[in-house]
């Protein structure tokens, strides 16, 4: 898997989406258990109970501070990261498609980033090797107390509700559609914005004469937000170039409906003129 740039924003997003706790939280919990065992063995009540209470209180406070700080300002940092990723992926798209700017100067290319709502992307991630039943139990214990080993870094389809209808998703789809003299060429990739890893990428080429329709519209998604533990509704905008073979080039975006809608008339006019030339 191709890794993208890593910075402090990724660390914030990993904490928000995947709840990777700092190790000292696990040490506090482990100390609480250890002192409890010692107090039982040596029949020490007053001092042990006082230490247990302090450690338990510190563990609770650390858990609460970590939980609430994980979502503070994450929405703005998320969209800042999306914009930076789009700049990187735009250059990568041009290189992967093997085009130069003079070849697609007919109209502005379509650049869109949105939720990875495709079901095929939900379970895409790093492959986990098979482990024994005993090791599964051991890893589960380590994950629960978050001791010296961090959880497996596996990409998951996670939605977070940041309030006021602001929804963010751990898996993002990026689409870049360029229009050359003969065809529309698209680069599309799915990536984990928290870990900065591209999970899947491909290109699609469609000749203008094969395009049957240019469609644009809104779609309402019902997503499960893991932090609020309820269903949230979010609207996305999509644009697709459909062909008779049921193949299509599609782009979706969330948060700003004007980006795609403003480009629809130019795309429709270009395809109509190209179909007339090639008729």
The model's pLDDT over 173-214, given as tens digits with 9 standing for 90+, comes to 999 999 888 888 999 999 999 989 998 899 988 888 888 888
Same domain, 108 and 171: yes
Q: Report if residue 15 sits inside a domain.
A: no
Q: Please report the DSSP string for 192-215 in residue order.
A: ETTTTEEEEEEEEEEEGGGEEEEE
Q: Which residues have CB under 8 Å from 179's CB, separation 6+?
A: 104, 106, 107, 109, 185, 267, 270
- My answer on whether 43 and 111 are in the same domain is no
Give the tens place of pLDDT for each residue, 116-174. Answer: 765 433 333 333 344 455 655 665 565 555 444 444 556 778 888 887 778 888 889 99
> Is the domain of 164 the same as that of 239?
yes
Does residue 64 sit in the same domain as residue 173?
no
Give me 267's structure tokens: 């795309």
Q: Is residue 223 part of a domain?
A: yes
SS3 191: strand
Residues 208 and 268 in one domain: yes
More confident position, 20 or 13:
13
Q: What is the pTM of this model?
A: 0.71
Domain count, the chain: 2
Average pLDDT for the chain? 73
pLDDT digits 0-9 by tens, 205-248? 888 888 888 888 887 777 777 777 777 777 788 888 888 766 67
If asked whether residues 175 and 255 sit together in one domain, one would say: yes
Note whether residue 1 is domain-resident: no
Tell whether 267 is covered by a domain.
yes
Domain span at residue 62 reads 20-69+137-154
Q: Could you give the CA distance from residue 81 to residue 132 in angstroms, rounded to a whole number? A: 38
Other Cβ atoms closer than 10 A to 13: 23
Using one digit for the tens of pLDDT, what is the confidence trace for 67-107?
A: 555 566 788 889 889 989 999 999 999 888 887 777 776 78
Note whether 62 and 79 are same-domain residues: no
d(CA 261, CA 104) in angstroms, rounded, equals: 20
Q: What are the strands of the beta sheet with 159-161, ordered from one edge?
A: 167-169, 159-161, 211-225, 230-243, 248-254
With 70 as the cut, is the pLDDT of residue 29 above it? Answer: no
Whether residues 142 and 237 fall in one domain: no
Give domain status of residue 228, yes or no.
Answer: yes
Report the pLDDT value the prediction gives residue 47, as an integer from 0 to 100.
Answer: 58
* Whether residues 34 and 89 fall in one domain: no
Q: Is residue 79 part of a domain?
A: yes
Whether residue 128 lies inside any domain: the answer is no
- 145 and 234, same domain (yes or no): no
β-strand partners of 112: 175
**What is the structure's pLDDT at 180?**
87
Task: Name residues whose C-beta falls within 8 Å of residue 113's C-beta, 6 or more positions apart in sequence.
Answer: 82, 85, 86, 172, 173, 174, 175, 253
- For residue 6, tell me if it sits in a domain: no
97 in the same domain as 43: no
User: 107 and 179 share a domain?
Assistant: yes
How sure is the predictor about 33, in pLDDT bands with cuts at 50, 70 and 90?
low
- Model pLDDT, residue 187: 93
């Amino acid at each position: 898997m191709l890794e993208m740039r890593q910075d402090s924003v990724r660390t914030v997003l990993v904490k928000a989406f995947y709840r990777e706790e700092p190790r000292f939280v696990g040490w506090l919990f482990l100390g609480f258990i250890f002192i409890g065992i010692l107090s039982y063995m040596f029949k020490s009540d007053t001092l042990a109970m006082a230490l247990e209470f302090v450690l338990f209180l510190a563990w609770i406070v650390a858990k609460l501070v970590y939980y609430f700080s994980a979502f503070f300002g994450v929405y703005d940092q998320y969209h800042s990261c999306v914009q930076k990723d789009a700049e990187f992926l735009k250059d990568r798209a041009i290189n992967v498609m093997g085009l130069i700017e003079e070849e697609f100067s007919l109209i502005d290319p379509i650049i869109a980033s949105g939720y990875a709502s495709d079901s095929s992307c939900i379970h895409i991630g790093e492959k986990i090797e098979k482990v024994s039943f005993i090791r599964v139990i051991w890893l589960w214990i380590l994950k629960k107390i978050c001791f010296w080993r961090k959880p497996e870094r596996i990409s998951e389809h996670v939605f977070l509700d940041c309030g006021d209808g602001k929804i963010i998703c751990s898996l993002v789809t990026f689409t870049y559609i360029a229009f050359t003299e003969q065809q529309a060429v698209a680069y599309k990739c799915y990536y984990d914005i928290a870990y900065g890893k591209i999970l899947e990428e491909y290109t699609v080429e469609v000749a203008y004469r094969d395009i049957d329709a240019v469609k644009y519209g809104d779609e309402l998604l019902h997503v499960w937000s893991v932090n609020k533990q309820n269903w949230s509704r979010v609207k996305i905008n999509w644009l697709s170039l459909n062909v008779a073979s049921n193949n299509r080039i599609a782009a979706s975006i969330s948060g700003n409906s004007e980006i795609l809608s403003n480009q629809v008339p130019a795309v429709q006019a270009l395809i109509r003129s190209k179909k007339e030339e090639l008729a």
